[in-house]
């Protein structure tokens, strides 16, 4: 029997995904949330023509998105590894006061900003060290530092707001100009995206979050990564507080708090980062913050109160979590 021309199933070429299909598959979570954002913009623009055509509305929208997104970037890095930082909102309020104290001690403004970020980094290091080396759940560790940092901030400030120092030009770059915060946000998003998707730190963070034991056996320094991500998250929270202090020209010891931290976590979850760890996306976190900003600003313009926003926000978080869990299960079955 002549079998030379018969195709062999064993040697059949594997199906190769086209570059376009691979691109779509790679960006699928981001494309889904982008579609939601576009549809929401179209809906609110139809109801109120000033939604996207008014400079004041665009400034308000960008200033809502920016702080939520920057803190979300740090939370995403932690959530990928299975951790969370509940103290981010308090670091947000603490770092600007350290900046003011450094400036009053004679440091130039750029050095005072670094001092505030260094103070935030120390808090992140403490959070990470206690969580990693004493093996406490990050929820418990950062819940404790949440109250600790809030108490320190109120004590050193005596519960009184302080004026933001610095020249008008420096303030404009650091947040006083209407669009400066969103420019900082996009720049940080780019850096964080590259860090997560194209560097050993980011790739190892994802591997450690998906399988800590396997990653450790493969030679990945899991504890070092977790510690570094706690520091990174705290620095981003502190930097956000600095930007906001220049925007509102005042530093309030009661600013930030749990509200902005939970909004950041919500943006991360809506953007495709599950609380179970192992995966996440910086661009998705930025788009998740955009969705929250669009909902908040849109509801304000059409006269719907904040209670309705909280209802929608809660439903969106639940829907996003359910969706992320089921997508993860489908992917795991497909990989088997």
> What is the per-residue pLDDT for 277?
76
Helix (H) or strand (E) holding 251: strand 250-251
In tens, the pLDDT along 228-238 reads 999 999 999 99
DSSP string, 118-179: HHHHHHHHHHHHHHHHS---HHHHHHHHHHHHHHHHHHHHTT--EE--S-HHHHIIIIISTT
As a whole number, mean pLDDT of residues 136-165 equals 92
| 201 in Cβ contact with 96 (< 8 Å) | no
> What is the per-residue pLDDT for 11?
47
**Average pLDDT value for the chain:** 85
Give SS3 for 111. Answer: helix
CA distance 56 to 165: 26
Q: Report residue 301's pLDDT band, with 50, 70 and 90 as the boundaries.
A: confident
Q: Report residue 1's pLDDT band, with 50, 70 and 90 as the boundaries.
A: very low
> What is the per-residue pLDDT for 190?
96
190 versus 322: which is more confidently predicted?
A: 190
Whether this prediction's pTM lies above 0.85 is answered by: yes
In tens, the pLDDT along 30-50 reads 888 888 889 988 988 888 877
Show the domains of the chain with their CATH numbers.
42-335 (1.10.3470)
In tens, the pLDDT along 254-298 reads 887 788 999 999 999 888 888 777 788 999 999 999 999 998 888
In tens, the pLDDT along 69-124 reads 999 999 999 999 989 999 999 999 999 999 999 999 999 999 999 999 999 999 99
As a whole number, mean pLDDT of residues 164-176 equals 90
| 227 in Cβ contact with 81 (< 8 Å) | no
Q: Report residue 6's pLDDT band, with 50, 70 and 90 as the boundaries.
A: very low
CA distance 1 to 319: 60
The radius of gyration of the chain's CA atoms, rounded to the nearest angstrom, is: 22
Interaxial angle between packed helices 55-80 and 282-301, expressed in degrees from 0 to 180 and rounded to the nearest 10: 140
User: Rounded to an integer, what is the distance from CA 210 to the centroid of its chain?
Assistant: 19
> What is the per-residue pLDDT for 96?
94
> What is the per-residue pLDDT for 43?
87
């Amino acid at each position: 029997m002549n079998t030379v021309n018969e195709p062999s199933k064993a040697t059949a070429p594997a199906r190769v995904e086209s570059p376009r299909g691979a691109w779509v598959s790679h960006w699928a979570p981001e494309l889904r949330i982008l579609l939601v954002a576009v549809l929401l913009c179209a809906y609110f623009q139809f109801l109120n023509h000033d939604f996207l055509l008014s400079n004041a509305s665009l400034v308000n929208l960008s200033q809502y998105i920016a702080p939520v997104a920057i803190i979300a970037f740090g939370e995403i890095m932690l959530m990928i590894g299975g951790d969370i930082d509940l103290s981010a909102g308090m670091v947000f309020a603490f770092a600007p006061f350290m900046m003011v104290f450094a400036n009053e001690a004679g440091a130039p403004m750029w050095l005072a900003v670094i001092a505030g970020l260094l103070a935030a980094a120390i808090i992140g290091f403490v959070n990470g060290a206690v969580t990693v080396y004493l093996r406490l759940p990050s929820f418990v560790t950062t819940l404790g530092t949440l109250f600790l940092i809030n108490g320190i901030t109120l004590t050193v400030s005596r519960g009184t707001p302080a004026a933001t120092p610095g020249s008008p030009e420096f303030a404009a770059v650091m947040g006083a100009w209407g669009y400066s915060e969103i420019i900082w946000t996009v720049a940080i998003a780019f850096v964080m995206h590259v860090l997560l998707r194209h560097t050993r730190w980011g790739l190892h963070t994802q591997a450690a979050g998906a399988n800590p034991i396997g990653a450790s056996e493969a030679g990945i320094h899991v504890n070092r990564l977790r510690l570094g991500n706690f520091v990174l998250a705290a620095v981003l929270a502190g930097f956000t507080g600095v930007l906001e202090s220049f925007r509102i020209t005042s530093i309030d010891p009661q600013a930030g708090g749990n509200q902005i931290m939970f909004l950041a976590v919500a943006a991360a979850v809506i953007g495709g980062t599950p609380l179970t760890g192992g995966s996440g996306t910086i661009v998705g976190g930025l788009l998740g913050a955009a969705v929250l900003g669009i909902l908040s600003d849109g509801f304000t313009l059409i006269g719907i109160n904040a209670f309705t926003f909280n209802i929608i926000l809660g439903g969106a978080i639940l829907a996003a979590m359910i969706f992320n869990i089921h997508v993860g299960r489908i992917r795991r079955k497909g990989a088997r």
